[in-house]
Chains A and B, each alone.
Chain A
Amino acid sequence: MNVPLKRITFILLLWLVLPAVRAQSVEETELIGEGNDGNCSTPVHRFELYDEKGVRIRANDKKPQPFSIEKTCGKCHDYQKIAKGWHFNGHDPEVESGRSGQPWVLMDSKTRTQIPITSRKWQGAYPPEQLGITPWAFLKTFYSHFPGGSYGQMDAQDPDEAIRQEISGKYEINCLACHHNSPQEDQSLAALQSARQNYRWIPTASSGKGVVEGVALSLDDYFDPAVDEGIKVTYNQGVLDKDDMAFFDIALPANERCYFCHSNRDLRVDENSEWTQDQDVHLQSGLNCIDCHRNGDDHMMTRGMETQGSGKSLTCEGCHLGNAADLSESNRLGAPNPRHLGIPTIHFEKLTCTACHSGTVPEDTAGRWKTSRMHKTGLHGKHNLDIAQPHLYAPVLMKGADGKIGPYKMFWPAFWGILADDKVTPMAPANVLKKAAKILEADVQKEDDWRPLTEEQIRNVLLALKKDDVGAVYIAGGKLYQLDAEDKIISTEHKAAQPYAWPLAHDVRPANQSLGVRNCKDCHTVDSPFFFGKVGVDTPVKAAGGTAYMEMVQLQGIDRLYMWVFNFTFVFRPFLKVIALASCALIGIVVLAYVLKATAAISNACAEEDK
């Protein structure tokens, strides 16, 4: 090869490679919302709006389209990276699940079903696909407190669902639900739009930037959004300025934003007395949720778990205990060191911090609670719901997967399933109804929110299911019901019937309201709620004798007799202290007396020798 040819080849290669290198570097630096240049101020978010096709939205558009979060926010932020964040990766079973959390709960009153649903590998919960729940059905069922992304952006596989998805659009991650600092941001309205299946219109409506009129749910399958007048968007006056730019008050999420999906209510507290209750002591002290539950660009927020890798110091221990090895990890956020005066250290091995410090103070019977996600609270208007089930119990002091006793929220699963290899696979309620709708009469009067079920009914349903589904069982109230060889109903205990529970971390009480702050008898008495508090066994199966209860000690993996005897010994604790201190005083006096006597004898002996 001669020199000109080499040169031409080199230039040609350079010409081919350079644009690629340049494009890559442009791509890397293009997303101005990524990374951090060290400036701590919040950037002003004045930007262009784009619809889901990437077309810019302008003030004088004749038929304005709803703005797309992916296309608009994605201009500066890595949407795909955020989509893998903790709030949006619930559909992905490959993601590290972490400790058990609050699942979605599929309720069906006709089949007496309440079953925890999640794709995360949480003990006692079932993936939606096992119950025949498609992503589209998931969205329809759990629409109200859904952050977008995940199931909301998965392509519908079923042709009928695909048609509806074409009309409704996809439920993109709604960044504004958390980050829009405007008081106009309305998650209740987002839930309403979601109930109407106006998925692609949700951010436009809930942000208060525009008004959305129309209901996708009521539109015909043949509706063509490109041609037909179906859902109308009107941007509010001044949302788009003369440059067709929109301003959004974007900030780190405020506590109020978190609360929409992460609120709890103890039903023992009358709704008119809520004002008498205190918030979490950390919030009262001026902290925000995100001070501990932080995340980077990947939105993998720290959950405050001691076992979690990143952000390990953002835990109770991380902030409240010193770290001699790393000063920067010591007493973060100015957290005070606990004194724990008179608390034997075994408590820290056997109990979580929250056992003594979190939730409401344990009472004789665990209370019933509501959570915003499970009971769809916080919806104001026509779509307000007063959902009573699942009956959630808290604080239940039980042993967790980490081997420590802590406060939990729990409910009793109830569902029909197939037992094979000692493993229960749940059946979709619709499949049960197909075969046993008549037996599971729906118009029966409710008792304690359940439509009651007799053992005879269970037997008949199992007989009906038996024809096609060998090994059909019913799970409820901690029991597994099945037919024996003679088709008689029998009930046994089974792992699948165990209550589904997840840790209760908040609200944290002030130190002076912690268990043990008064004395040992806060917990160590023969009738202390901590060990002997009762938890209702919730079931539609009505047995003679009324509601059944179980004691917390049964959920703590501790022998009841032992715990009772151990707690009983605390009656004698004052005597032990008195006897031991008096004995020590006596021994001390005797020793001291003879030491003095010996001193005198030595002194005398020396004096005699001198003589």
Chain B
Amino acid sequence: MFRWAAIISFGVIFAGLLLHHLLFPCGYKPRFSPGSLIRKKVHLFILLFPEQKLSLPGKIRKFIFLLGLLSFVVLLLTGFTPLMLGSRLAGYWLIIHATFAPVFIGCTALLALLGAGQYRFNKEDLETVGLGCTSSKIDGCRLTDIGIGAKAGFWLLLILSLPVTLTMVLSMFPLFGTHYQELFYHLHRWCGLVFAWIAIVELYILIRMGILEDTKKKSHQF
């Protein structure tokens, strides 16, 4: 069941994001010219690097984010690829998965510490939710609209990272018997799956935010 739930849900999420991207494009026009596609890819790649204007704490945060992102991708691939192939997480997949897991949770914790202030909800968010947005529109997208999504995603990911991690770590201690081992294993898988859904959507939102911010800056320059 879990295998099919994972396959279908990832399919739905990726299809949904693609559909959303096509229906509500932002940042570039025209959308499907070869130049635009290359430019988008280069832009996404550049987003990975720390900006020159960043301060040292900003650079550290960016580095932690990128390391956490890399770990997340590795965990996602090692966690779900064997499953998609019809086997289970074992062998070298498991070794890699377990190697990157502490890196990921460590990065998540540091990001929580360094980024929580930035992602806290404010009055504007409340207005967005309750009274509608008053901020400027860029290519049909409102920065605050996606901003509140990113904030919600951030906090959801932080909260979900706790059961995802604790279910595995606690099972390593001689505290819980077979029943709880089973329970923890299934909780880890399902929480991990939900975490992955939210993380993918969060990444999509962050990318869109990055593109929008860049576009906004450029529109101010000209």
* Binding between chains A and B: yes
Which A residues contact B (CB, under 8 angstroms)? 338-346, 348, 519, 562, 565-566, 569, 573, 575-577, 579-584, 586-588, 590-591, 593-594, 597-598
CB contact between A587 and one of B92, B108, B171 (< 8 Å): that residue: B108
Q: Given the complex of chains A and B, what is the CA–CA distance between A435 and B105 in angstroms?
A: 73
Q: A340-B181, A344-B181 are in contact. Are A587 and B121 (CB under 8 A)?
A: no
**When the two chains form their complex, are residues A342 and B112 in contact, meaning their CB atoms are under 8 A apart?**
no
Contact partner of A583 among B90, B91, B108, B182, CB < 8 A?
Answer: B108
Nearest CB of chain A from residue B198's CB, rounded to whole Å: 15
Which of A339, A580, A590 makes the CB contact (< 8 A) with B158?
A: A590
- The reply to whether A594 and B106 form a contact with Cβ atoms under 8 Å apart is no
- CB A403 to nearest CB in B, in angstroms, measures 14
A/B interface sample: 15 pairs, CB < 8 A: A341-B175, A342-B172, A343-B178, A344-B181, A345-B181, A345-B185, A579-B105, A584-B109, A586-B109, A587-B109, A587-B161, A587-B162, A591-B112, A593-B116, A597-B120
Residues of B within 8 A of A348 (CB): 178
**Nearest A residue to B103, CB-CB:** A579
- A597 and chain B: residue at smallest CB distance: B120
Distance of A569 Cα from B166 Cα, bound (Å): 19
CB-CB under 8 A for A580 and B95, given A587-B158, A594-B116: no
Chain B 103-145, CB within 8 Å of chain A: the 1/0 string? 0011011101100100011000000000000000000000000
Q: Are A583 and B165 in contact (CB under 8 A)?
A: yes
Q: In the bound complex, do residue B173 and residue A342 qualify as a contact, i.e. CB atoms below 8 Å apart? A: yes
Shortest distance between the CB of A303 and any CB in chain B (Å): 25
Q: What total of A-B pairs shows CB separation below 8 Å?
A: 99
Q: Which residues of B contact A580 (CB under 8 A)?
A: 101-102, 105, 165-166, 168-169
CB < 8 Å neighbour of B95 from A341, A566, A584 = A566
Interface hub of B109, B158, B182 (most chain A Cβ within 10 A): B109
User: In the bound complex, do residue B171 and residue A344 qualify as a contact, i.e. CB atoms below 8 Å apart?
Assistant: yes
User: Which positions in B face A, CB cutoff 8 Å?
Assistant: 90-92, 94-95, 98-99, 101-102, 105-106, 108-110, 112-113, 116, 120-121, 155, 158-159, 161-162, 165-166, 168-169, 171-178, 181-182, 185
Which chain B residues border A340 with CB–CB below 8 Å? 177-178, 181
Rounded to whole angstroms, the CA-CA distance of A345 and B90 in the bound complex is 13
Decide if A588 touches B162 in the complex (CB within 8 Å): yes
**Is the pair A341, B174 in contact by a Cβ cutoff of 8 Å?**
yes
Cα of A594 to Cα of B112 in the assembled complex, Å = 11
| Contact assessment for B158 and A591 in the assembled complex, using a CB-CB cutoff below 8 Å | yes
Which B residue sits closest to A340, measured CB to CB?
B178
Residue of A340, A562, A583, A593 most packed against chain B (CB within 10 A): A583
Residue in A346, A566, A590 whose beta carbon sits within 8 Å of that of B116 in the complex:
A590
A588 to chain B, nearest CB (A): 6
Cβ–Cβ contact B165 & A343, under 8 A: no
Complex Cα spacing A103 to B169, Å = 46
Bound CA span A72–B110, Å: 85
- Kindly state the separation between the CA atoms of A569 and B100 in the bound complex, as whole angstroms: 12
Residues A584 and B105 in contact, CB atoms below 8 Å apart: yes
Residues of chain A within 8 A (CB-CB) of B165 are 580, 583-584
Residues of A near B113 (CB, < 8 A) are: 586, 590
Chain A residue nearest in CB terms to B112:
A590
B159 touches A591 (CB 8 A): yes
Q: Which residues of B contact A519 (CB under 8 A)?
A: 174
